[in-house]
Structures are given as structure tokens and as C-alpha cells.
Amino acid sequence: MSLRNIGIVYRKELTEAIRDRRTVISTILVPLLLFPVLSVGFGSLAVMLVGKAKEETPKVMLRGGEDSPEVVAGLKKLDKIEIVPETPNWKDQIINKEVRAAVEIPSGFQTDVAQQKSDTVNIYNYEGELKSEFATDKVEKYLKDYSDTLVKDRLAAKNLPVAVLKPFELKRENVAPPEKVSGAAFGGIIGYMVILLCMTGAMYPAMDLTAGEKERGTMETILSSPISRTHLVLGKFFLILTAALGTAALSVLSMGVSFSVLSHYTGQTADGRAAAAGFILHLGPKTVISVFLMALPIAVLFSAVLMTIALFAKTYKEAQSYLTPMTFIVIVPAIASMLPGVELTSKLSLIPILSTSLLCKELVAGTYHWNLIAIIFSSTCVYAAAALFIAIKMFQREAVLFRS
Amino acid sequence: MIEARSLSKRFQDKKRGEIRAVDNVSFTCQPGKIYGLLGANGAGKTTTLRMLATILEPTDGTATICGYDVIEHPEKVRANVGFLSTATALYRRLTAQEFVEYFGRLNGLDEATLKKRVDSIFNRLDMNGFRDRRCDKLSTGMMQKTSIARTLVHDPPVMIFDEPTNGLDIMTARTITSFIRECRNNGKTVIFSTHIMAEVEKLCDTIGIIQSGKLLVEGTLPQLRDKYAEHELEEIFVKVVTPHYVAEENN
């Protein structure tokens, strides 16, 4: 094994890759810009849209209430709500977003309340429609407050404490550290993104260094040099691996910065901000190194498999048609790991991609199951070594190199 | 020196079954001589030369180059060979100098020797004007010179040219033919495949005519003229090849 020869091939492939616009875009620019655009861009857009929706004064239609002036007056006094009179096509108006909600006060409501009879007040809205939900929330809050006031007055009239209806307070408190909470929430995404981006980062160079080389006519040139095919394939393989890991590393970096910026701008609750901050803090050197150590064998696996498949193609386009379905093969287990309730077990540890994805989730949350880590690392190493062995063998087959 | 002994190559084709691209070919090329392998398209020239350059492995038979067997020591064979064809393209994103240096390093040259050799070749081939230009920005002539520099960088004793002038304009083709002559004058063993009769007449010391993977006849140009009672090489070629060509067409 000549490390010198492998290094010569690697350096040359690196020089060519850096000078290739498509490689630079897919390996450096896309992962760096993907998360800022997706999270900060869409996040800001969402904040802007929600803010705009909140600023609007929604129209709420009042049905009935002629004999309940006190409630109607209270509704009309509500800030940023415009109460409009009833029309026969009120349902259509809600559906067409001309009116955001309708509130129906039953006949004799105020009298019934005074006589302590129970009535039902209906609120009609457009479920899922943001502005309709805002209008409904405001009306609902007013009516709940009104109901609470009535209860308090009735209890006071009978000299009873409020505790009669509310014997105790219920309070929920999180004891898990913020990074574990955020790990459970964001850890799945980290694993998924690292795996997916290892794959997409490897894809372009894998095609360029095999099918691309055949298409450009340089395969015969390099095969006429004294370098052994094993050294040649290893030099190429290390460049593909560098691209895979580089893409994933830049993505995680970009994702961390994006989350941090996003949590700063979205005006989250204190808990949400703490979770986001914990998440960022927890992506310290230890977590990053752990995630990348676990991603290493899977990146080796992807690089070797993609290179072997792309080698069969005669042209870059043909290689693209072979490799595109591979994305789906990777996405399915990676997404499966994000499903609620899917936990890492020793059996699942043997399934490549899924196991690494689940493990990344645990690592980000700060949990280290060493026995499972050992199983996943060694099994993925075995798969990766097998894939690399096949890639080397394929590079020695004339039928593959000179397929016509 | 090149010695091919019963060199054969068979391919499997899904439609046509087994194809004998090269069938039991034997010949010898001496240092300081040019051996011309003359044949029509698909005759087996490229496959023969690819086996000599160890890009393909023979199915049967073997060949030795500078004493190294192409099957047993392919890497040593390649270290002694400069291989040039129109199919051996350049790395477009490297400069002419980087490209030549890359192959020098793959041939085991240390940095000091490499620098000396690259400077000497670039001066000799008048390449200094474009040594830092990327290969995708070179003219056809510059590309050919860069390819020649690649084959020369490790100063191999054996040169293999597979239809090197195919598709080139006259001026670029002349650069190649004068380079082939220079190789012979420098004592290198040269084998050269073509279907252009004029090139063979001008360059070759020994001519081998190949058709359907078989080496039908070989000899110097005067020997062939005597044997077939024809002066023009084209007429000799037609006389030799026609019976085999007709049989192949009938099959």
C-alpha cells in the first residue's frame, strides 16, 4: 500500500474539485446557505405573517344578543375586534374570509344567567385559518373571563371561598436539563441532516470522479499510468469521503448558527429560548466529535456505495439516473428514526442509517449507551469495509470500466 | 523491446456472443524502430495496444515489455511505457504544468527530478507560453503537446501510439508524426497503429496488417512490395485484407 500514491491522487482530485463550480456549490454553498434560508428566512417570514395577522382588526359577527345588552356591550368594548351585525349568509362570509368568526348569544341569555340557568354560547370559526383563530381566541377569552366573574360573584353571594370549585392547583415542571429537552426535540433532525447531507455531499464527486472521468476521456489516460488501481480508487474514495463529511460539518455549523439567530428573532417564550440556547450550547466539541465519529463509518459506506454505482455509468447523466433513487433509500430509514416512540435497541443497531440516525439523537441529548455505540460503530464499519472492497474490485473489472 | 506472444482477447456480447477482438497475435518490436499496426476500423488495433499498455488484460497469450510481463507486472510495464491516443484526454481543470507533473509524480519521480524534466520538456516542445493555462482553455495543438509531454515526463523506453493523429488537422498531425520520429531517433521502441497509409509509408520500419483480430502479414515495406507485387501500400493492404473482409461480411 503506497500512501504517497494515494495522496498524489487525492491532492489532484481535491485541486480539480475546488476548481469545479458544481462541486463547490453542492459541497460548500448549499449546506452553508440551506439552513439560514430555510430556518431564518422562513422563520422571519412566519414571524412577519403572524405579526401582520395580529395587527388586523378582525370582524366578528354577532348573532342574537338583543336581550343581553351587558354581554354585547362587553364584546363591543373588546380591543381590536369589530362587531358586525348578523347577515343570512354568515357561514359563507366566514368561509370567504370576509368575517373571521361569529358568536351566537342564545335568546334570554342574560335572564338565564341571572336565574342561574345554564346556556350554550356558540362561536363559529374557520379552523386552522390564522386570523380566524386570533378573533376566536379574543372572543373566547372574554366569555371565559365573564363566566369566571359570574362564578366568583355567585360564590361570594353565598359566602363560599373560590377553593370550593378549585380544590387544588395543578402545575407541571420539567426537570430534564434544557439540552436534553432540546436534544429530544432537535436531536432527530441533527442525525437526519448529518446522514442526508453526507449522502448528498458524496453524490456529486462520486459521479464526477467515475462516470465523469469516463465521459471526459481521462479514464484511459489515468489507467495508462503506473499507479495501481487500488491506489487510484482509494485516492478518489478519500476525496468523496472528504466531500461527504465536509458537507455534513458545514451543515451542522450552519444549522447551529441559524437556530441561534432564529431563537433571537422569533420572540419565543422563555422556555423555548432556553431550549434553543441549551441546544446550541450542547453542540459543543464533545457532541460534535461524537456525532462525527458515528457519521464517519456511514460516510465511508455512502462514499463507497455511490462510487461503485456511479462507476457503472458511462456518462454523468446516466450516473445521475442511477444515484437519484438512492436518496429515497436513505431518506426512509432516516425519517423512520424521527417517528415518535422509535427508540434505539440492540436489534435496530444492526440496521445501517437508521441506527446511526437514532444514535445521533441520543448523543445530542447527551445520552451515551456504550454497548449500542460499539455495535453500531462496528457493524457500520463492517458494511463500509465491504462496500469499499466491492468498489476496489469493480475498479479492476474491464467490463465496468470499459462498458459499451 | 516489445514481444507479443499469442496475444488474444475475447469479449462477451449479449447479442453476438463471444467476440474475438484479438486472436493469437505475435510480433516483436525492436528499440530504435517503429512498428506500424495497420488495420481498418474494428480490426483489433486498439485492443492489441491496450493490452500492451496493460489497460486491458489478455484472455490468452501474453506480452513482455522491457522484459516485464503484462499480466504479472502491469505496473512495471506501465512505468516503462508512454501511451498516447486520441482517447487519452487531459484533466480540464488542471493547468498544462500541473497535468504533466501529476503523471510525473505517479511515475515515482522526486520533486527535484520532476522539475528538471518538466522544464526540459516544456522548453523542447515550446510549451512555456501556456504552461499555467488550464487544459480546457488550450487549442487542439497545445492539448496534443501537453499529451506528448505527459508521455515523455518519465522518459519511457517504449512508446505506444494508438491512432494518434485521428481527427487532427494537418499541422497538429505533423507535430505528432515528427515526435514519433524523434522517439525512434532517441532509441525508443515505438509501436503505432493507424489506418492512414501515408503515415505508415513515411514512418514505419516494420508493418503488420491486422484484420478481424488476426495479424495477417508483417514485414518491411520493400518486403511487402515484393511479396504482393504492388508498389502502393494501399493496394497491398486491399490484397491482404479483402478475403478476410469478405468472409467476415458473409458471417
Q: Which residue of A lies nearest to B95 if distances are taken between CA atoms?
A: A16
Out of B76, B87, B103, whose CB is closest to A225?
A: B103
A236 and A105 share a domain?
A: no
Mutation target among B68, B91, B114, B135 for the A interface, most CBs of A within 10 A: B91
Mean pLDDT on A115-137: 88
3-state SS class at A349: helix
A157 shares its domain with A196: no
Nearest CA to A17 among A223, A246, A196, A217? A246
Of residues B56, B75, B94, nearest to A15 (C-beta): B94
- Spatial contact of A83 and A62, defined as CB atoms under 8 Å apart: yes
Packing angle between helix A354-364 and helix A316-336, nearest 10 degrees? 50
Exposure string (b/e) for A257-278, b if CB count within 10 Å is 16 or more?
bbbbbbbeebeeeeeeebbbbb
Least confident interval from A89-103, A187-201, A206-220: A187-201
pLDDT at A182: 62
Amino acid type, A202: A
Residue the block writes with cell 351566537: A104
Contact B85/A220, CB-based, under 8 Å? yes
Please tell me whether residues A17 and A124 are part of one structural domain: no
Structure-block grid coordinates of residue B104: 510525473
Mean pLDDT of A256-271: 61
Cα separations in angstroms, A73 against A60, A67, A70, A145, B138:
14, 12, 5, 15, 85
Phi/psi at B158 (5° precision): -120, 135
Same domain, A328 and A212: yes
State the cell numbers at A184: 429530544
Q: Which of B83, B103, B143, B147 to mutate to test the interface with A (most CBs of A within 10 A)?
A: B103
Closest residue by Cα to residue A335 from A352, A349, A354: A354
Kindly state whether residue A50 falls inside one of the protein's structural domains.
no
Q: Do B93 and A15 touch (CB under 8 A)?
A: yes
The answer to whether A227 contacts B91, with C-beta atoms less than 8 Å apart, is no
Beta-strand (E) ranges in chain B?
A: 2-13, 17-29, 34-38, 60-65, 68-69, 81-85, 158-162, 189-194, 206-211, 214-219
Domain boundary among A142, A164, A186: A164
Closest CA to B100 of B129, B143, B55, B162: B143
* Closest residue in B to A5 (Cα–Cα): B106
Q: Cell 436531536: give the residue.
A: A187
The residue from A100, A134, A164 where one domain ends is A164
Residue A203's H or E segment, with its range, is: helix A178-208
Q: Model confidence at A263, in pLDDT bands (50, 70, 90)?
A: low
pLDDT given for residue A39 in this prediction: 67
Name which of A8, A218, A224 is nearest B105 (Cβ-Cβ).
A8
In a domain, A106, yes or no: yes
Q: Kindly give the interhelix angle for A285-312 and A354-364, rounded to the nearest 10 degrees.
A: 160
Mutating which of A3, A4, A5, A12 best tests the B interface, going by the most B Cβ atoms within 10 A?
A12
Whether residues A242 and A373 fall in one domain: yes
Question: What is d(CA A199, CA A325) in angstroms, rounded to the nearest whole number?
Answer: 12
Pair A104, A130 in one domain: yes
Inter-chain CB proximity A15 and B108 less than 8 Å: no
- pLDDT at A207 exceeding the cut of 80: yes
Is residue A48 situated within a structural domain? Answer: no
Q: What is the pTM of this model?
A: 0.79
Closest CA to A151 of A166, A141, A170: A166
Q: To which H or E segment does residue A105 belong? A: strand A101-105
Q: Which of B119, B9, B123, B95 is nearest to B56 (CA)?
A: B9
Site of grid cell 368561509 = A95
pLDDT recorded at residue A183: 63
Task: Confirm or reject contact between B155 and chain A (CB < 8 A).
Answer: no
CA pair distance B237, B251, nearest whole angstrom? 21
Q: What does the mean pLDDT of chain A come to?
A: 83
Q: Is A94 helix (H, G, I), strand (E, B) or coil?
A: helix
Residue B92 in contact with partner chain A when CB distance is under 8 A: yes
Does residue A170 lie within any of the structural domains?
Answer: no
Q: Do A226 and B75 touch (CB under 8 A)?
A: yes
- Check CB contact under 8 Å for A224 and B93: no
Residue of A nearest to B73 (CA): A226
A223 close contact with B: CB closer than 8 A: yes
pLDDT at A52: 80
Shortest alpha-carbon distance between residue B172 and chain A (Å): 19
Residues A291 and A381 in one domain: yes
CA distance B53 to chain A (A): 6
Q: Does residue A261 belong to any structural domain of this protein?
A: yes
Task: Give the cell for residue A215.
Answer: 465521459
Q: Note whether A127 and A258 are same-domain residues.
A: no
DSSP β-bridge partners for residue B163:
none
Structural domains of chain A, count: 2
A57 half-sphere exposure, CB direction, 13 A CA radius: 9
Q: Are residues A255 and A153 in the same domain?
A: no
- A229 at B interface, C-beta within 8 A: no
Q: What is the ipTM of this complex?
A: 0.89
A244/A385 same-domain check: yes
**Rounded CA separation A322/A326 (Å):** 8
Task: Return d(Cα A13, Cα A19) in angstroms, integer.
Answer: 10
The pLDDT tens digits along chain B (251 residues) read 999 999 999 988 878 788 889 999 999 999 999 999 999 888 899 999 999 999 999 999 999 999 999 999 999 999 999 998 877 889 999 999 999 999 999 999 999 999 999 999 999 888 999 999 999 999 888 998 899 899 989 999 999 999 888 877 888 788 888 889 999 999 999 999 988 888 899 899 999 999 989 999 999 999 999 999 999 899 999 999 888 777 776 76
Q: What is the pLDDT of residues B116-125, one digit of tens each?
A: 999 999 998 8
CA Rg value for chain B: 19
Residue B69 pLDDT: 96
Contacts with B57 from chain A: Cβ below 8 Å: 398
| Whole-angstrom Cα Rg for chain A | 31
**Chain A neighbors of B89, CB-CB under 8 A:** 216-218, 220-221
Helix (H) or strand (E) holding A53: helix A42-55
Give me the percent of chain A exceeding a pLDDT of 70.
89
Of the candidates B174, B128, B171, the one whose C-alpha atom is nearest the C-alpha of residue B149 is: B128
**Which residue of A1, A219, A220, A314 is the best one to mutate when testing the B interface, meaning the one whose CB has the most B CBs within 10 A?**
A220
Are the C-beta atoms of residues B54 and B77 closer than 8 Å to each other? yes
Distance CA B40, CA B211 (A): 7
- Walk me through the domains of chain B, giving residue ranges and CATH numbers: 1-79+170-251 (3.40.50.300), 81-155 (no CATH)
Among candidates A320, A49, A356, A64, which has minimal Cα distance to A198?
A356
Last residue of some domain: A110, A141, A164?
A164
Does A190 lie in the same domain as A106? no
CATH label of the domain that carries residue A129: 3.40.1710.10
The continuous run of DSSP H or E covering A60 comes out as strand A59-64
d(CA B144, nearest CA chain A) in Å? 13
Q: Classify residue A226: in a domain, yes or no.
A: yes
Q: Which residue has the higher pLDDT, A401 or B216?
A: B216
Residue A205 lies in a domain: yes
Grid cell for residue B244: 478476410
Residues of B with Cβ-Cβ distance to A24 under 8 angstroms:
none
Cβ–Cβ below 8 Å for B87 and A220 = yes
Residue A232 structural domain: 3-38+177-401
Q: Is residue A389 part of a domain?
A: yes
Interface test with A, best of B9, B90, B93, B107 (most A CBs within 10 A): B93
Residues 371-400 of A with CB under 8 A from B: 398
Beta-carbon contacts of A176 under 8 Å, excluding residues fewer than 6 positions away, are: none
Question: CA of A304 to nearest chain B CA: how many angstroms apart?
Answer: 23
Instruction: Express each pLDDT in A87-114 by its tens digit.
Output: 888 889 999 988 999 999 998 888 888 8
Which of A216, A220, A226 is opposite residue B78, by nearest beta carbon? A226
Q: Are residues A26 and A97 in the same domain?
A: no
CB B241 within 8 A of CB B211: yes
| A16 contacts chain B (CB < 8 A) | yes
